[in-house]
Amino acid sequence: MSPALIAVLPFLGALLPGLLVRSGRGVAAVACGVVTLTALVGLGLHAPAVIAGEVVASRLDWMPQIGLAADFRLDGLGLLFGLLILGIGLLVILYARFYLDAKDPAGRFFTFLMLFQGAMLGIVLSDNLLLLLVFWELTSLSSFLLIGYWRHLPEARQGARMALAVTGLGGLALIAGVLMLGHAAGADDLTGLLRARDAVQASPLYLPALVLILIGAFTKSAQFPFHFWLPRAMAAPTPVSAYLHSATMVKAGIFLLARLWPVLSGTPEWFWIVTTTGLVTMCLGAVVALFQDDLKGLLAYSTVSHLGLITMLLGFGTQGAVVAAMFHIVAHATFKASLFMAAGIVDHAAHTRSIRRLSGLGALMPLTFVISAVAALSMAGIPPLGGFISKELMLEQAAATAWLGGPRLLGWVAVAATMFSVAYSLRFVFHVFTGRVASGYPAPARDPGVGLWLAPAVLAMLTALVGAAPDRVASWLVGAAASGVTGTALHPHFSVWHGITPALVMSGIAVAGGVAALLAWPLLDRVRAALPDLDAKRWHDAMVLTATRWSWRVADGLTDGSMARALGAMVAAIVAAGIAAWGSGTAPAFDRPMLPVTGAAAAGWAMLVAATGAMVFFHRSRVLALVLVGIVGLMVSAAFVHLSAPDLALTQISVEVVTVIVLLLALNFLPKVTPVESGAARRALHGVVAVVAGGAFGALAYAIMRTGAAFPTIAGYMVENSYRLGGGDNVVNVILVDFRGYDTFGEITVLGIAGLAIFALARTLVEGPTGDRLRAMFGDRPRVGDRHPMPLVVVTRLLLPLVLVVATYIFLRGHNAPGGGFVAGLLVSIALVMQYMASGFAWAERRQRVPYHGLIGLGVLAAGITGIGAWFAGRPFLTSAYGYFKLPGLEEFELATAMGFDLGVFLCVVGAVMLMLDSLSRIARRAGETVNAGPMDILSGDPDRDPSGPA
């Protein structure tokens, strides 16, 4: 299975829960499990090759212009993280299936979980820095969704927001840093980047890139001073905490440090920043963890501490430290995920996670006790468990590293941190599971079913196995990962017993100190309570509050609910941007000769300007303004005729008619006059904005028309090939139905959607309380007596067949002469609307046999089928063919497949326009328009009683 497919599988799996959850959350969980297992097997199949030192890669160009490629690679580091993500993912899915309450929406949970899994796999498998950034942001987003999964809880929402703010800001820094790094290395792919160490470290961009990348990694991996979001993320359901906030996502930052280790490490800057941050985080997390009351809070700060430990090891910059770091990633993921799940079990059984209220659970829940004890002792670094080995490795490395001038200083600080780590690990076991059985559990606490305990038990067993036979169980994976990080083949060997080494002595001191600290815990806790409470959350809140206030200030300045202010700001911004763009470039000389002005053109211009001016002056009188708009539209159509655009003129003039009808129908209900509401000063200001915008736009148009095109246009191609490839003489029509058929296909779909949207809007208006209000507003207003004058009725009915013939003609000739589907569709709509106007909505509606929605659907289908037809001839979508045919009694004529497409355009236009007008007429009927009867209609009787009346 290619690495790309492995990374994509979880995303495909994310679709399944939504589809399957109706069959029960068990089915959804099994589907996710199967997908995860498939990816895990796919990954496992590569393991032998990767361990042998190969790099498995798959490449696919995505946006080569900006260096973005969907390249994936799988090396030792990717294998280690991939196994963690998929292996623990599988266990978490099992655990979550039984952990979630029946009331929790399981489909959403599993979808988010799979999205996260895919994003995380993407990070560890991508070979392209930009692609890695995309997945990086995706993990922040999916983590946000998962933390806020219980959206009814305020702390879940706040925790989710805080995590997103911190990791999202870090992500922004990371983007900048990675772009700088790619620039310094001259490569966007990891494979090339990893070889560019010297170029990167010599570059002046090295330090800024390093700092920005470290901010990204430290925010993600909850390093001091960005650690505060992680404990708040514990509001997430426990499976999420076990998966994202201990085993995988928080290790993404560590992953990045390891991934870029060959390029960035080895400099004093790297050593000082990374080592110091890791050390501070390790100590701080361990101390704070000891005094947490919430089980998950203890585990969260412990995670912070352990992440600091790994960061510190990566900061050392030695190969031995990398091996230790990789080993600790494995060890930490197993014991910490297990402990989180155990904490979830305790929460379920005892209905509390407060350590003060828990005691003596071991007697009630022996199985949970055993699992927790194994995992916690591993966390404390007690032999012969997995955590012991990584702790020994860490102490060995720390003791050998000089820091702040002291050759032994770092080692002793690490021992102190380890001491606290021992203390809180033991506290987790002894304060919760041993001692007197606490009273007051709401329900009798018992061990859960196998579904809940299996996953933590497997992980606890693994941590024990890693400790018992580290060489056999873990060295292959740790070795492959360390080789992947350092780029040199490493084959480390581990064993529990090394003899009496300095590290063992340090370890013994730490354990003894930890036990002492636990025994003195009540005293220590009183000391802590007397100390001031330091929490970075306050800074975070203050920052967020300030940012929010400033955002409000800016937003209020631009829009305070007044549309005019928002639109005015937008227009001003557009004009300013245009002027700035103009000023920054060079325009060619205005050397294109002007066309002479004809008398007709001058007259048309004068009418257009007069109508526009009059419309602004009289716009408060709405019907008059509408008439004036009609004049402007007519003059625009005339301009199109005059300037060699017959198709545009036909379209513009027919659209003009339907637009005016729509506006008239709407005016039926809207007030007929616009009151004066703005003061003179405001109107003057608006006038200035309008004149500036108009002047700028007109000047731009003038500048374009007086200069030649900057590049040779593609018009020549269109004109030359219109007949040869499209079989039509009307180039505009051939472009619409053939060359740019895809665009047209999209456009008729949009038009159809607009029609359906209006239909839906109109429905909400005529139904329910709004419909009643409509009726109350307009039901009893006086009406004209003569609503459907006889002459109009007769003329429109006579006109209908004539217009239909003309429309057919326009449609048929469209490929070779001005016309086509758009114009024909508009003409037919006008003919039909005339019936509505002349004979009444009800009368026309009764005679409408094909529903207009159906026409829209048919139109899109016809266009689509015509396009697909080209596939059967082995051509791409929408390639047209044409031929000449002869039928008896007719001249030879041309048939092009494009006509099928144009038919689709025609049907869609008729359907959409008629659906819009019909929806408005429905509103009118609801507002009290009655079905006309009697002498005003040609029928002698009431058409309501004679639905089969003459067509």
Partner 1 sequence: MEMLVASAIGIMTAAAVYLILRRRTFAVVLGMTMLSYAINLFLFATGRLVRGAPPVLADGVATYTDPLPQALVLTAIVIGFGMTAVVVVMALGAFVEGGDDRIDLPPGDGDGRANAGDTGGAP
Please report, as residue ranges, which positions from 762 to 791 form the binding site for partner 1 (by CB under 8 A). Answer: 762, 764-765, 770, 773-774, 777
Using the minimum distance from each CB to partner 1, give the nearer residue, 38 or 744: 744
Nearer to partner 1, 191 or 659 (CB): 659
**Phi-psi group of 317: left, alpha or beta (phi > 0 → left; psi -120 to 50 → alpha; rest → beta):** left
Peptide linkage before 384 cis (omega within 30 of 0): yes
The answer to whether 28 contacts partner 1 (rule: CB under 8 A) is: no
Interface region with partner 1, contact rule CB under 8 A, candidates 46-54, 533-541, 843-851, 940-948:
533-541
488, 381 in Cβ contact below 8 A?
no
Judged by CB, which is closer to partner 1: 162, or 485? 162
Between 422 and 831, name the residue whose CB sits nearer to partner 1: 831
- Show Cβ contacts of residue 890 under 8 Å, excluding neighbours closer than 6 positions: none
Question: Among residue numbers 219 through 238, which ones bind partner 1 (CB under 8 A)?
Answer: 232
Least distance (Å) between residue 185 CB and partner 1: 38
Strands (E) across 779-874 are located at: none
Work out whether 531 is an interface residue with partner 1 (CB under 8 A): no
Buried b (16+ CB within 10 A) or exposed e, 814-837: bbbbbbbbbbbbbbbbbbbbbbbb
Q: Which long-range contacts (CB under 8 A, 24 or more apart) does 642-646 make?
A: 642/598, 642/600, 642/601, 642/604, 645/732, 646/818
**Nearest distance in Å: CB 659, partner 1:** 6
CB closer to partner 1 out of 446 and 620 = 620
643 sits near partner 1 (criterion: CB under 8 A): yes
Binding to partner 1 in span 734-753, by CB under 8 A: 735-736, 740, 743-744, 747, 750-751
At what angle are helices 502-519 and 386-399 packed, to 10 degrees? 110
Query: For partner 1, what does the binding mask look like between residues 145 and 174, x meaning CB under 8 A?
Result: ---------xx--xx-xx------------
Q: Whole-number minimum distance, CB 389 to partner 1, in Å? A: 39
Residue 571 touches partner 1, criterion: CB under 8 A: yes
Half-sphere exposure of 695 (CA within 13 A, CB side): 9
Binders in 601-640 for partner 1, by CB under 8 A: 601-602, 605, 608-609, 612-613, 615-616, 619, 622, 625-626, 629, 632-633, 636, 639-640
Q: Should residue 837 be labelled a site residue for partner 1 when binding is judged by CB under 8 A?
A: no
Residue 459 · residue 338 · CB < 8 Å? yes
535 binds partner 1 (CB under 8 A): no
Count of chain residues binding partner 1 (CB under 8 A): 132
Polymer length of the chain: 951
Beta-sheet strands, E only, within 836-942: 882-885, 893-896
**Which residues between 904 and 943 bind partner 1 (CB under 8 A)?**
909, 912-913, 916, 919-920, 923
| Element containing residue 68 per DSSP (H, E) | strand 68-69
Place of tokens 């008619």: 657
Q: Name which of residues 123 to 142 contact partner 1 (CB under 8 A).
A: none
| Under rule CB under 8 A, residue 705 binds partner 1 | yes
Binding part of the chain for partner 1, among 265-273, 332-340, 380-388, 756-764 by CB under 8 A, reads 756-764
Residue 816 contacts partner 1 per CB under 8 A: yes
Would you count residue 812 as binding partner 1 (CB under 8 A)? no
438 sits near partner 1 (criterion: CB under 8 A): no
Among 658, 792, 858, 870, indicate the residue that binds partner 1 (CB under 8 A): 658
**Contact between 822 and partner 1 per CB under 8 A:** yes
719 binds partner 1 (CB under 8 A): yes
- Residue 180 or residue 288: which is nearer to partner 1 going by CB? 288
Please tell me whether residue 557 binds partner 1 under the rule CB under 8 A.
no
Of 758 and 907, CB closest to partner 1: 758
Site for partner 1 contains 440 (CB under 8 A):
no
Q: Determine which residue in the list 690, 795, 850, 861 makes contact with partner 1, applying CB under 8 A.
A: 690
**Is there a contact between 307 and 428 (Cβ–Cβ < 8 Å)?**
no
Whether 819 and 909 have beta carbons less than 8 Å apart is answered as no
Which amino acid, 943?
Answer: P
Q: Does 702 bind partner 1 (CB under 8 A)?
A: yes
> If binding is defined by CB under 8 A, does position 693 make contact with partner 1?
yes
Count CA atoms closer than 13 A to 568's CA, side-chain side: 19
Please state, in angstroms and rounded to a whole number, the distance separating the CA atoms of residues 366 and 364.
6
| 552 forms part of the interface with partner 1 (CB under 8 A) | yes
d(CA 271, CA 822): 69
Give the bridge partners for 69, in sequence order. Answer: 61
Asked whether the beta carbons of 951 and 847 are under 8 A apart, the reply is yes
Contacting partner 1 within 341-370 (CB under 8 A): none
Q: Give min distance, CB of 923 to partner 1, in A.
A: 7
Residues 6+ apart with CB under 8 A from 219: 166, 167, 169, 170, 171, 173, 226, 229, 253
Question: Contact region for partner 1 (CB under 8 A) — 107-115, 245-253, 369-377, 649-657?
Answer: 649-657
Nearer Cβ to partner 1, position 402 or 666?
A: 666
HEC sequence for 845-858? HHCCCCCHHHHHHH
What are 201's two structure tokens?
A: 């470290």
Does position 850 interact with partner 1 (CB under 8 A)? The reply is no
Among 68, 504, 645, 938, binds partner 1 (CB under 8 A): 645
> For residues 736 and 82, what is the distance between their CA atoms, to the nearest angstrom?
50
CB of 146 within 8 A of CB of 236?
A: yes
